[in-house]
Amino acid sequence: MEESRALAALQALGHETRLSLVRILVGAGRAGLSQGDLARRLGATPSRLAFHLSLLEQAGLIAARRESRHVFYMANTAGLGRLIGYVLNDCCAAHPEVAACCRHSDRRPNPPT
């Protein structure tokens, strides 16, 4: 992944609404969710939601498909994986402690004492 693409993706994720959208869409799986369903879940106005969805799509973190009059959004798992891989391998140089935290993401590391 190019650094500029990684920066755009990280910037897109750096907002509460957009991070929530990615979480929801990852959980929705391949079927995705319509913009209306996403708006209801987040309590967002359609125009504001469209702005956030557009940024995530441009960053390669989500994808859209049209079915009739509806647009469905789903997580772009390959794009998310490339971003995580970039951060882990390029930025963190596959540091063993960082990698260990990724393998055990269900457990939060104890803060240093």
Q: Does the structure show a pLDDT above 90 at 73?
A: yes
Measured between alpha carbons, how far is residue 76 from residues 18, 25, 69, 93, 111 in Å?
14, 9, 22, 24, 33
Q: Give the model's confidence band at 59: pLDDT under 50 very low, under 70 low, under 90 confident, else very high.
A: very high
Residues 6+ apart with CB under 8 A from 29: 74
Domain ranges of the chain: 3-77
Supply the CATH classification number for the domain 3-77: 1.10.10.10
This prediction's pTM:
0.81
Report the SS3 class of residue 5.
helix
Place of tokens 């969805």: 53
CA-to-CA distance for 28 and 20, rounded, in angstroms? 12
Q: What is the pLDDT of residues 11-54, one digit of tens each?
A: 999 999 999 999 999 999 999 999 999 999 999 998 899 999 99
- Of 4-8, 25-29, 69-73, 91-95, the least confident: 91-95
Measured between alpha carbons, how far is residue 50 from residues 1, 25, 47 in Å?
26, 15, 5
Instruction: Give all strands of the β-sheet with 62-67 in edge-to-edge order.
Output: 33-34, 70-75, 62-67
Q: Does the structure show a pLDDT above 80 at 102?
A: no
Q: What is the pLDDT of residues 23-35, one digit of tens each?
A: 999 999 999 999 9
Angle between helix 3-13 and helix 16-28 axes, rounded to 10 deg: 100
